[in-house]
Amino acid sequence: MSTQTSTDAGTAAPKVVLQIDNLESYYGPIMAIRGVSLKVHEGQIVTVLGANGAGKTTLLKTVSGVMDPEKGTVNMMGADIQTMEADAIVRRGIVHVPEGREIFPLMTVAENIAMGAFTRNDKGAIAADEEMVYSYFPILKERRSQRAGTLSGGQQQMLAIGRGLMAQPKLMLLDEPSLGLSPLLTQEIFEIIVRLNKEQKVTMMLVEQNAKVALDAADYGYVMELGRIVMNDRAEVLAASKDIQEFYLGVSQDENQRGQRRWKQRKTWR
Amino acid sequence: MADTLPPQQTVNGLTINADLSQGPFYIDGQDTTPKLFRLRCQTLGDRTAMREKTFGIWRSFSWNDYFTHAKHLGLGLVSMGLERGEVVSILSEDRKEWMYTDMGVQCVGGICSGVYTTDSAAQLQYLVNDSQSRFLIVENDEQLDKFLQVRDEMPGLVKVIVLDRDGLHGFSDPQIMFIEDLYEKGRAYDAEHPGAFDAAIDATQPEDTAILVYTSGTTGKPKGAMTSHGNLMYSIAAGLRDSPVYPTDDQLCFLPLCHILERVFSVNAPIAAGSTINFAESPETIFDNLQEVSPQTFVAVPRLWEKIYSQVAIRIGDATATQKWAYGQALKAGMARAECEAEGRPVPLSTQLAYRFWDMALLHNLRRMIGMDRLRRGGSGAAPISPDLLRWYHAIGVPVLEGYGMTESSGVISINNADDNKIGTVGPALPGAQIRIADDGEVQYKAGNVFQGYWNNPEKTAETFTEDGWLRTGDVGTIDNEGFLKITGRLKDIIITAGGKNVTPAEIENKLKFSPYISDVVVIGDKRKFLTCLVMIDQENVEKFAQDRRVPFSNYASLCAAKEVQDLIRETIEEVNKDFARVEQIKDFRLIDVLLTADDDELTPTMKLKRSFVETKHAALINQMY
């Protein structure tokens, strides 16, 4: 039962870190996720694209245990984790970097980073990891005794990612890292995300509205609409798809006679 | 004029011909739609004729609004040179201006022809040229772009009128104008020529062509069916006699108005009955709009009735054990009552009491949930509907009645009505109409609503009629001893296998379609060794199936590819195979794994698969099976 038909073919597929099957999640009576199945392979960056209300954040929350699904399974390296509490899931190696960073604003940068290692007690390794985080985000080192709430948006995002790294994640869930950031900062953050993936071997599941940067960074992508996956493929295939170009990348397909176009093509997801 | 009227009868508030086998047909003393339209607007005045939802609020438009806009639109076109008997084409989604155009054009003696919004620029070009339209009305920038793409190939077109200015501010082109400017022209013309509009209405005759309805044309180019005022007056008079619509009724309009079914039911019927039309916002919001409007009378295609049922079934599937039990009991009581009524037996007191109890406790809420708590009569047409589905609706207290018709019969040939309903048939012929079955089984028809012929196409017209002047429907069917018509298939779709066996694919297809998991299916096998089929699954129900059985899938294609889904369809087919002889059994199948939309060639505007298109487009898939 492969859901990633186009990557699995041929090459020996890397280990599956996360496998979600038939997931359904509700907010009260409202069904936010209507049967989602997907896979994240070790070492990959997988992105989930979608507009507001597509169910992307709900999906991440369900994976990290903040929400419980109504139906379906979340399997991490062979173990079902959908009924586990969020703290147990962190201990298993899934770290959620939430939308809007949600750092601790009254604590200093250093304290925030230390909080990321809350579940660990290997002092020596923690110190080494702190240095690793600072090497990726030198600005945080400069400001380590500053209160986190006084950082700029981009720095806060860096801090949130750095804090997440401190838990030594096997899988990092990133919820809209580009939210509220300038294009330049967005690019910078994504460069670091790719480096972390390559150098620290952190598998990433990345939810984004900014399809361009997400597809550039990712290996594989899923497109969600109204709680369903409508399309999935390798990132470069998605980037070339007509629907993605029109609806997520803002590329106008063909110039019309008037030289401008306001209306949208109907989506087909083929 | 009154003294020349044929004998009249008054039924359900409408005065119509006592003998509906002979034209001209009168409704309240009027023999054409424009004349009746004028009468209704005069008497109903400020009452609501239609509602449209803008920015989330239902806004009402009165019969006076309807009349004034139709008048200015019609006269505006006249001022620019529209002649009587000329065609005006409109390319727009359903909205009030569609009806303004329809009536405005007809009142000044023109012929109104609708173009589907899903049609391509090339199709638009063909329809405009074939109908010799000099005026084209387009909804918005999207539709205007179609015109702009092919404008050089439509030399006969004089003017294009755009309804919606969004995205076109600052756009100007000598051949294009906006609707407000057209109204303005009409207003000026009216001031200069007082009485011109009334005179134009008076000049309309029953034998004048009123509308041109292009048939989808699965083979060859679309053909424009000419439908006269008299045809439409008959369809309405005969249709409303036994299936009344009242001035207090609300209706919901959601199928394309280019389609004859929606046209007759949503334009002509309200004009006769004085009922109110509510436009659904979009195809995606029909279910919400149904709840909001809660129509008293509602006509839809089987697909929609199936969807509503599926939604209820899915909700029940997720209900608690107690709720499921109650639903089962309520349905049992409803079925018992419906059965007695269907057989014409008196309903025993115990059944009545049980039904009353469950109606109060559960069924009433269920009806409210699906927006049918006020529904007096639902209609289903344009495709065959499952008898079991109809029984379910009757059980929950929603009488859905199947009817039958075609473009060439101005929408209707037969309808089941509340007092005289036989599930599994499409009802008796309209009052005054005649149906006969030819030697080859073809249903042939003669009545006041048989169309005038195809526009500029005498050969095709001749093919459509028998030598003695009956309409050849192209459908195969039977009539039972009580006069109820049953349709079994299409004549030209009959498959002759390589073994020389004649098979009516529709019979097998309909049985398969009654499965909740199969949305549509095309049986293949002409000149082949055995029968196979291509299946379009019902996304919602199959997804639900996969979810309940924890079959992982990501997108539509992977859903179709899932082994469990393939097995599900195979089992459904094997089950249906049992009802057929060996040569008529389906040996193999493939699923169409792309989610088709109305934009695709393979689908009709009412979301049916088109056999010939499917066969050519999915030839590779078919060849895999042989």
Q: Do A263 and B550 touch (CB under 8 A)?
A: no
Closest in B547, B552, B597 to A266, CB measured? B597
Structure-token pair, residue B219: 């083979």
Higher pLDDT, A260 or B366: B366
Band of pLDDT at residue A10, cut at 50, 70 and 90? very low
Q: Hey, where are the domains in chain A?
A: 13-247
Residues of B in contact with A5 (CB under 8 A): 558
Residues of B in contact with A229 (CB under 8 A): 554-555
| Mean predicted lDDT score pLDDT of chain B | 93
Nearest residue, CB atoms, A22 vs list B148, B167, B547: B547
List all residues 6 or more positions away from B296 whose beta carbon is below 8 Å from its beta carbon. Answer: B245, B246, B248, B249, B250, B251, B275, B374, B375, B376, B377
Q: What is the 3-state secondary structure (H, E, C) of B183-238?
A: HHHHHHHHHHCCCHHHHHHHHCCCCCEEEEEEECCCCCCCEEEEEEHHHHHHHHHH
pLDDT of residue A8: 43
CB contact under 8 A, B145 and A262: no
Set of chain A residues whose Cβ sits within 8 Å of the Cβ of B594: 268, 270
* pLDDT tens digits for range B506-533: 889 988 988 889 989 999 998 899 999 9
Q: Looking only at Cα atoms, what is the longest distance across chain B?
A: 75
- Evaluate whether the domain defined by B495-625 bears CATH number 3.40.630.30: no
Percentage of chain B exceeding pLDDT 90: 78
Q: What is the pLDDT of residue A248?
A: 85
Report CB contact under 8 Å: B555, A37: no
CB contact under 8 A, B554 and A263: no
- For the stretch A122-136, pLDDT in tens is 989 999 999 999 999
Residues B401-416 have pLDDT tens digits of 999 999 999 999 999 9
Query: How long, in residues, is chain B?
Result: 626
Least confident of B12-21, B63-72, B215-224, B239-248: B215-224
Using an 8 Å CB-CB cutoff, list chain A residues near B144: 258
* Tens digit of each residue's pLDDT (9 = 90 or more) over B544-589: 899 889 999 988 999 999 999 999 999 999 999 999 998 899 999 9
CB of B317 within 8 Å of any CB in chain A?
no
The CATH class that applies to domain A13-247 reads alpha beta
**Sorting pLDDT into bands at 50, 70 and 90, what band is B221?**
confident
Reference B525, options B499, B547, B543; nearest CA is: B499
Q: What is the pLDDT of residue B504?
A: 87
Residues in chain B within 8 Å Cβ distance of A231: 555
Residues B73-112: tens digit of each pLDDT = 999 999 999 999 999 999 999 999 999 999 999 999 999 9
- Tens-digit pLDDT profile for residues B145-176: 999 999 999 999 999 999 999 889 888 999 99
Alpha carbon separation from B372 to B298, B365, B397, B400 (Å, rounded): 9, 10, 9, 11
For residue A1, pLDDT beyond 50: no
Please check whether residue A86 is in contact with residue A148, taking contact to mean a CB–CB distance below 8 angstroms: no
Q: Which of residues 529-548 of B touch A (CB under 8 A)?
A: 543, 546-547
Closest residue in chain A to residue B598, using alpha carbons only: A266
Which chain B residue has the Cα nearest residue A265? B142
CATH 2.102.10.10 for domain B2-298, yes or no, is no
Distance CA B156, CA B147 (A): 13
Is B147 an interface residue toward A (CB < 8 Å)?
no
Strand partners of residue B340: none
What's the pLDDT score for residue A252? 65
Residue with tokens 């109110």: B276
Over residues B59-80, the mean pLDDT reads 97
How many residues does the structure list for chain A? Answer: 270
Question: In Å, what is the CA distance from A229 to each residue of A89, A190, A222, A237?
Answer: 24, 24, 7, 16
Q: Is the pLDDT of residue A166 over 70?
A: yes
Residue A257 pLDDT = 64
Residue A254: pLDDT band with limits 50, 70, 90: low
**A21 contact residues in B (CB cutoff 8 A):** 550, 552
Cβ distance of A3 and B546 shorter than 8 Å: no
Contacts of A266 in chain B (CB under 8 A): 597, 599
Task: Indicate yes or no: CB of A257 within 8 angstroms of CB of B148.
Answer: yes
Pairing of strands A228-234, A220-225: antiparallel
Long-range contacts of A152-157 (CB under 8 A, 24+ apart): A153/A101, A153/A180, A153/A181, A153/A185, A154/A181, A154/A182, A154/A185, A154/A188, A154/A189, A156/A101, A156/A103, A157/A101, A157/A181, A157/A185, A157/A189
pTM here is 0.85
Give dist(CA B237, CA B243) in Å, integer: 10
Give the ipTM of the model, two decimals please: 0.77
* pLDDT tens digits, B427-461: 999 999 999 999 999 999 999 999 999 999 999 99
